[in-house]
């Protein structure tokens, strides 16, 4: 018997794959859902067909979901706003929303990126622009296609605010979707952003025909680099052992459904970054994350050979062999750097 869930008015910003998956789950949980779509024609098409053929082909979305191209109307007086837009769009979107956001609303970031100039994570940017105390981050190994196919999935809601955690767990808990809690918002969000880098590297490795032993090595050394950066920035490296860290890292480094993995695979086949992204027709968050993290690692003196090698491949036109060098020719560091 389905447990009764309190109904909230919710706006999901963005009708990409994950935004659509969020709306799908929320509607199934009897929530009042509106999806903001920047393009009026796309909003009209989604309203009339109930399908998002570009991102989730073949999936029938709940007819109760409303689509709105006017962001003020979409977010006016709602209880919860999910930000499921590319990280590069956050600042301009927040500027549009300032008059609509109130202190009572819950604001959830679902993007996995870092702002280029400020090195702010997306929830930090929301906090800086709104002053809200009701902020959370939803992150984890959450491939949208598998979610709407109702394959068992787990995610993490991270917030310092218990109310935010409790509400999001309530409205997103379904027989096939479980939400765990974490109060380390910074660590969870940093893990989600950093893992995109290594998904690109894993895609390259797969395209080059490297084996499962290599994949295992790549994932574990990636986790070491991620934890190293987290510690330097004041985060808790143990957070990276959870769903948002190693869990997300495993799925995005292994699944062809991951767009960062797909991007890396195309690079490994010989395409340029521009060609690869154009073929995917989706935002690849990991591209910018490689750029900003490579610069930050250099600034802070954090040893991240995979990041620096990937940066040289993507932005300096260096040979893909640099990625292998990052795995095999670096210092002989400890296997496990953070031990309880």
Catalytic residue among 42, 150, 195, 298: 195
pTM: 0.92
Q: Compute the average pLDDT of residues 96-115.
A: 93
* pLDDT value of residue 214: 87
The whole-angstrom separation of Cα 28 and Cα 136 is: 22
> Of the given ranges (64-78, 231-245, 324-338), which has the lowest mean pLDDT?
324-338
* pLDDT value of residue 1: 42
193-328 CATH fold: 1.10.1040
Q: Helix (H, G, I), strand (E, B), or coil: what is residue 42?
A: helix
* pLDDT value of residue 219: 92
Q: End-to-end CA distance of the chain, in Å?
A: 42
* pLDDT value of residue 340: 40
Surface-to-core class of residue 113, CB atoms within 10 Å of its CB (0-12 exposed, 13-18 middle, 19+ buried): buried
* pLDDT value of residue 128: 95
As annotated, the residues of the chain forming the CATH 1.10.1040.10 domain(s) are: 193-328
Measured in degrees and rounded to the nearest 5, phi and psi for residue 35 equal -110, 125
- Quote the percentage of the chain above a pLDDT of 90: 82
What is the chain's percent helix, strand, coil content, to nearest 5? 50, 15, 35
* pLDDT value of residue 277: 93
H or E element in which residue 199 lies: helix 185-207
DSSP string, 93-146: HHHHHTTT--TTSEEEE----B-TTT--BHHHHHHHHH--S-EEEEESS--HHH
Q: Are 25 and 147 in contact (CB under 8 A)?
A: yes
* pLDDT value of residue 335: 66
Q: Compute the average pLDDT of residues 151-169.
A: 98
Query: What digits encode the pLDDT tens for the residues 285-300?
Result: 999 999 999 999 999 9
* pLDDT value of residue 93: 96
Q: Compute the average pLDDT of residues 300-317.
A: 92
Mean pLDDT across the chain, nearest whole number? 92
Catalytic annotation on 151? no
Does the domain at 9-183 match CATH 3.30.1480.10? Answer given as no
Q: Compute the average pLDDT of residues 45-67.
A: 94
Neighbouring C-beta atoms of residue 128, cutoff 10 Å: 13
* pLDDT value of residue 331: 58
- In sequence order, the β-bridge partners of residue 93 are none
* pLDDT value of residue 232: 92
The whole-angstrom separation of Cα 224 and Cα 167 is: 33
Query: What digits encode the pLDDT tens for the residues 9-48?
Result: 999 999 999 999 999 999 999 999 999 999 999 999 999 9
Q: Are 126 and 94 in contact (CB under 8 A)?
A: yes
The whole-angstrom separation of Cα 304 and Cα 227 is: 10
- Quote the percentage of the chain above a pLDDT of 70: 93
């Amino acid at each position: 018997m389905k447990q009764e869930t309190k109904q909230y008015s919710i706006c999901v910003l963005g009708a990409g794959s994950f935004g659509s998956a969020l709306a799908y789950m929320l509607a199934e949980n009897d929530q009042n859902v509106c999806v903001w779509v920047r393009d009026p024609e796309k909003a009209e098409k989604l309203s009339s067909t109930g399908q998002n053929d570009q991102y989730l082909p073949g999936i029938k979305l709940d007819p109760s979901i409303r689509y709105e191209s006017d962001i003020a109307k979409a977010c006016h007086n709602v209880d919860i706003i999910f930000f499921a837009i590319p990280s590069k769009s956050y600042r301009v979107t927040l500027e549009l929303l300032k008059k609509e956001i109130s202190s009572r609303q819950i604001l959830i970031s679902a993007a996995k990126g870092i702002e280029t100039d400020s090195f702010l994570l997306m929830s930090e940017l929301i906090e800086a622009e709104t002053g809200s105390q009701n902020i959370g981050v939803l992150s984890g190994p959450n491939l949208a296609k598998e979610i709407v196919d109702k394959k068992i999935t787990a995610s993490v809601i991270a917030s310092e605010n218990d109310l935010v955690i409790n509400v999001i767990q309530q409205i997103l808990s379904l027989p096939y979707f479980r939400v765990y809690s974490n109060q380390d918002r910074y660590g969870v969000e940093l893990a989600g952003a950093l893992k995109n880098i290594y998904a690109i590297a894993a895609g390259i490795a797969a395209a080059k025909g490297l084996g499962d032993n290599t994949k295992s090595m790549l994932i574990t050394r990636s986790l070491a680099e991620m934890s190293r950066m987290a510690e330097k920035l004041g985060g808790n490296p143990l957070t990276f052992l959870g769903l948002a860290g190693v869990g997300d890292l495993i799925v995005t480094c292994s699944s062809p459904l991951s767009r960062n993995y797909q991007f890396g695979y195309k690079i490994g086949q010989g395409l340029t970054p521009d060609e690869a992204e154009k073929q995917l027709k989706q935002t690849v968050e990991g591209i910018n994350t490689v750029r900003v993290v490579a610069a930050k690692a250099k600034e802070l003196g954090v040893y991240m050979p995979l990041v620096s090698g990937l940066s040289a491949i993507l932005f300096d036109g260096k040979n893909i062999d640099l990625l292998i060098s990052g795995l095999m020719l670096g210092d002989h560091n400890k296997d496990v750097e953070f031990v309880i």
